[in-house]
């Protein structure tokens, strides 16, 4: 009898531990599946405002506060733009002084908690950049997607899609550059964004289903005069661009891909986001399995997600579909080794596997999806060189 009771207790404990593990894995998977647009990703530190002066702001000394370049500085109810670190300015040992470019809205006061964001602009193309634009509605799979359209003289359109933790305002970083080079630009909101339809399960799918919103934007562009398309995506927006170039019925119109910090392994990205929330390492595989159970995402074995995503490796299999004169589109990847969310090594592997079609522009000291922020002039020059043959 004692043995039976001991066995029953062991089984009960094992079941309880298993149930607890499932719950813990589900909670950990929320780090990626429920990352809200416009909010900081896990791991992005909150910084304290210590002081402000004309064109200056002192922030908590942190590796994030020392990043080179230009960033949005977001708080609850405020947004500003900060420029380079000003080492020559007087500061205490626990602060960093940066140039304060402008306060977009709200106020910044000592003690406020803020975080750096790639969104250097908030608003729309007219209010932030002085660019004429049209608000359009794109019929999508789940409903109408609001979008900005900035006209240009060329018949090659750029469709810009944001990724994890940002909004379509992310496209404003490069919109003035694209407009200066006369490209029409279409920047759609995606499912789950404010004003856009919610996904049926309320979860992010790392581009696996969201790419169909990009496909809808492609149909809108072609239906309104675009002869060729350049798909520009950040983070999971880059994954969407890869999926669209491989599977859209309009893939033959895609003249090029621009991929900023592409998520090439959703499993590694989910693990990184969960780890940034201080999830114990032993629970990270459970987070991945929970995400698969909740979304139906296929495993990428923590490897090169692009192998079944991009149009490169299955080009020969689709030769009859594409025709001999339609090679996979030329691609520019902008990425760097300091991205802790989307591993840079996968971008390097993809580039090395297809050097004839893919160029990699390396940006150092840049967090996820902030390659432009770390080096705007270098980023735009790489973009100019890539786009020139596509004009």
pLDDT of 44: 94
The answer to whether the CB of 333 falls within 8 A of the CB of 358 is yes
- pLDDT tens digit sequence for 52-81: 999 999 999 999 999 999 999 999 899 999
Residues counted in the chain = 391
pLDDT of 141: 96
CA-only gyration radius of the chain, Å: 22
Quote the percentage of the chain above a pLDDT of 90.
79
Instruction: Label residue 17 by pLDDT band (50, 70, 90).
Output: very low
Closest among 193, 266, 209, 280 to 235, alpha carbons compared: 266
Euclidean distance between CA atoms 107 and 95, whole angstroms: 20
| pTM of this structure | 0.89
> Three-state SS for 190?
coil
In angstroms, the Cα distances linking 129 to 72, 176, 195, 315 are: 15, 7, 22, 40
> What mean pLDDT comes out for the span 138-163?
98
With a cut of 60, say whether residue 317 has pLDDT above it.
Answer: no
- For Cα atoms 219, 327, 371, give the angle at the middle one, nearest 5 degrees: 70
Instruction: Delimit the domains of the chain by residue range.
Output: 47-117, 125-265+300-388
Euclidean distance between CA atoms 388 and 384, whole angstroms: 6
Name the residue with higher pLDDT: 90 or 118.
Answer: 118
pLDDT of 326: 55
Euclidean distance between CA atoms 66 and 48, whole angstroms: 14
> What mean pLDDT comes out for the span 220-233?
98
Closest among 90, 40, 45, 39 to 65, alpha carbons compared: 45
Q: Which CATH architecture has domain 125-265+300-388?
A: 3-Layer(aba) Sandwich (3.40)
E strands, the chain, where? Answer: 47-53, 56-60, 71-75, 78-85, 95-105, 113-117, 134-139, 144-150, 156-161, 185-188, 228-234, 254-260, 331-335, 358-362
End-to-end CA distance of the chain: 82
In angstroms, the Cα distances linking 202 to 196, 199, 205, 286, 294 are: 12, 5, 10, 20, 10
Euclidean distance between CA atoms 245 and 347, whole angstroms: 17
Instruction: Label residue 159 by pLDDT band (50, 70, 90).
Output: very high
Antiparallel, parallel or unpaired: β 254-260 and 95-105:
unpaired
Topology of domain 47-117, CATH: Thrombin, subunit H (2.40.10)
With a cut of 80, say whether residue 98 has pLDDT above it.
Answer: yes
Q: 13-22, 103-112, 296-305, 368-377: which range is least confident on average?
A: 13-22
> What mean pLDDT comes out for the span 363-384?
97
Number of H helices, E strands in the chain: 11, 14
Order of strands, edge to edge, in the sheet holding 331-335?
134-139, 144-150, 185-188, 156-161, 228-234, 254-260, 331-335, 358-362
Antiparallel, parallel or unpaired: β 358-362 and 331-335:
parallel
């Amino acid at each position: 009898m004692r043995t039976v009771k001991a066995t029953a207790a062991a089984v009960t404990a094992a079941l309880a531990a298993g149930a607890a593990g499932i719950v813990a894995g589900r909670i950990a998977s929320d780090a990626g599946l429920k990352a809200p647009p416009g909010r900081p990703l896990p791991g992005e530190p909150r910084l304290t405002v210590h002081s402000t002066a004309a064109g200056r702001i002192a922030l908590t000394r942190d590796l994030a506060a020392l990043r080179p370049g230009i960033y949005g500085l977001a708080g609850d109810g405020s947004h500003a733009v900060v420029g380079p670190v000003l080492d020559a300015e007087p500061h205490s040992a626990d602060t960093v002084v940066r140039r304060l470019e402008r306060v977009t809205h709200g106020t910044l006061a000592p003690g406020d908690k803020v975080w750096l964001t790639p969104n250097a602009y908030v608003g729309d193309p007219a209010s932030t950049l002085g660019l004429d634009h049209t608000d359009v509605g794109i019929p999508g799979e789940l409903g109408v997607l609001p979008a900005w359209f900035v006209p240009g003289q060329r018949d090659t359109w750029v469709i810009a899609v944001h990724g994890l933790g940002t909004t379509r305002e992310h496209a404003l970083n490069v919109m003035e550059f694209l407009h200066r080079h006369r490209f029409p630009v279409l920047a759609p909101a995606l499912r789950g964004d404010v004003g856009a339809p919610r996904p049926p399960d309320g979860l992010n799918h790392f581009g696996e289903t969201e790419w169909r919103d990009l496909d809808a934007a492609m149909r809108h562009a072609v239906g309104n005069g675009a002869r060729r398309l350049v798909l520009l995506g950040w983070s999971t927006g880059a994954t969407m661009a890869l999926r669209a170039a491989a599977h859209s019925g309009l893939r033959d119109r895609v003249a090029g891909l621009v991929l900023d910090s592409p998520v090439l392994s959703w499993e590694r990205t989910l693990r990184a986001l969960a780890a940034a929330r201080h999830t114990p390492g032993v629970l990270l595989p459970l987070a991945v399995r929970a995400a698969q159970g909740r979304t139906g995402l296929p495993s990428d074995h923590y490897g090169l997600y692009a192998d079944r995503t991009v149009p490169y490796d299955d080009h020969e299999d689709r030769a009859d579909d594409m025709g001999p004169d339609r090679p996979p589109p030329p691609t520019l990847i902008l990425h760097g080794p300091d991205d802790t969310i989307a591993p840079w090594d996968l971008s390097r592997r993809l580039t090395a596997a297809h050097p004839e079609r893919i160029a990699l522009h390396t940006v150092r000291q840049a967090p996820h999806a902030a390659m432009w922020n770390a080096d705007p002039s270098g980023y735009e020059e790489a973009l100019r060189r890539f786009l020139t043959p596509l004009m």
